[in-house]
A and B are shown apart, each in its own frame.
Chain A
Amino acid sequence: MLTNYIKKDSLIHKLNPAVKIFLALIIIFLSFLIRETYKLSLFSALSFILAFAAKIPKEFFKTLGFIMTPLLITLVIFHGILNPAATQVIATFYFLSIKLDGLIIGFNYFAKLLSFVSISYILIFTTNPADLVASLSKLGLPKQAAFVTLATIQFIPLMEEKAKKIMDAQQARGLRIIGGIIQRIKAYIPLLMPLILSMLDEAYERSISLELRAFFSKNKRTFFREELWRKTDTITSIILAVIVGGIIIV
């Protein structure tokens, strides 16, 4: 299964996935709407607190740091030096001038990204994809979408393994994967083609299986996975709504 889910016994993990999904959607939406850097930082702070509440601070900050640090550096330098709208020069370095308002703009973009990425990671780390899909199905996600999502997360790791095996097999048959760029592009088809053919065959057979399990049946669908909405979910939702609302108004 393709996932970065880390299984832990925490309040956040036990939350109904719908709560987390809504929280993520709202914060992501607001991240792109709100301009004030401090508000965006507060959203990120909320995610950081949730990371502690979810007992995953180490993994959370490690992943976040790995992804966001290069972006922070690039954004700040980029806008600090190159943003054409920036004017308040505070330092010069040979022919490059560092502008304060540029740095601020860069940091603002970073804050926006950090907010969006942080809450996404909270969702990813604390929610089992199968539970997520089950929750979304209850909320109205069509069964076709549910199937495609679950099948995808099952098959990607399997096919990646297969791709590696094909790479080894083809190399054993003399395929060169190092060399000039034309050489390497030419190697692409013999590597991808066997995978495509086997996947298409399997797709056809599996579509038959789908029909034989009455997938397209017209009756109402039911759910096996239990998704309980507990009192804690209601309480947490209210608390989170108040926090987010508070951040907007502050």
Chain B
Amino acid sequence: MDFKEIKKEFNSYGLLLIVVGIVINWVGAFIAQTLKLPVWLDVIGTMLVAVLSGPWTGAVAGAATNIIKWVTFDPVGGPYFVVNMAVGLLTGYLYKIGRYNKKSGIIDLLGVTVALALISTAISAPITVYIYGGVTGGGVDLLTALFLGTSTTHGLLTAVIGSELLGDIMDKAISVFLVFAIMNLLPDKYFKSETQKKSAVEKKKR
């Protein structure tokens, strides 16, 4: 891990991008609610920052979204900051290795969806079970109940994994495609490699 590279992500533009990411996560979820979409869409900001600036700024944008909300406004979703953070990291690294960018084909996009959905569920399911007792207060609980009720051999965790995975696949699929569309609509200049470089200063040789 190149620490210098990581530190570079947190320059002035990187910091402002983190703010943008957090705001988009918030407002993005708000728009999703207004449109009555059955998905959260609260990681669009995180993913956008991850591709525009880097995985670690993406991770911070994700984590900060939940944490800042926790201490100023609404504590309930707080512990899920780990999920948002992981999405940022993974998206950023997928972008870095070229698997997720404006030119990605449908196979890559589906791959990214599956990867993000898996990591989201893998982290959020245990949080839901151990902190929230298996319920989220949302529609997924009905699914979880269904899974629990239909089989006596499945534990609570498995049932939650099942229901969260279904929700996550839908949410991440739409998010991945939306961010893909956004990447294609954004001019190159917003991508990190185009901003914030120093000018070469020619030293006059006498």
Contact = CB atoms under 8 A, between A and B. Distances in A.
Interface of A: 2-5, 32, 67, 70-71, 74-75, 78-79, 82-84, 105-106, 108-110, 112-113, 116-117, 120-121, 123-124, 129, 132, 144, 147-149, 151-153, 155-156, 159-160, 163, 167, 177, 181, 184-185, 187-189, 191-193, 195-197, 199-200, 203-204, 206-208, 210-211, 215-216
Contacts, number: 173
Decide if the interface of chain A is mainly helix, strand, loop or mixed.
Answer: helix
B24 interface: yes
A127 B131 CA distance: 25
Contact of B37 (A67, A188, A197): A188
A189 B17 contact: no
A148 B186 CA distance: 24
Contacts of A120: 70-71, 75, 78
Contacts of B18: 148
A126 B9 CA distance: 35
B104 interface: no
Interface stretch (B93-101, B117-125, B149-157): B149-157
Contacts of A199: 20, 23-24
A203 B71 CA distance: 24
Interface stretch (B80-88, B106-114, B134-142, B161-169): B134-142
Contact of B137 (A2, A70, A187, A196): A70
B174 interface: yes
A3 B72 contact: yes
Contacts of B35: 177, 184-185, 187-188, 191
Contacts of A147: 15
Nearest to B39: A185
Given A123-B71, A200-B190, A160 B15 contact: no
Contacts of A149: 64, 68
A188 B31 contact: yes
Interface in B165-206: 174, 178, 181-182, 185-186, 190, 195-196
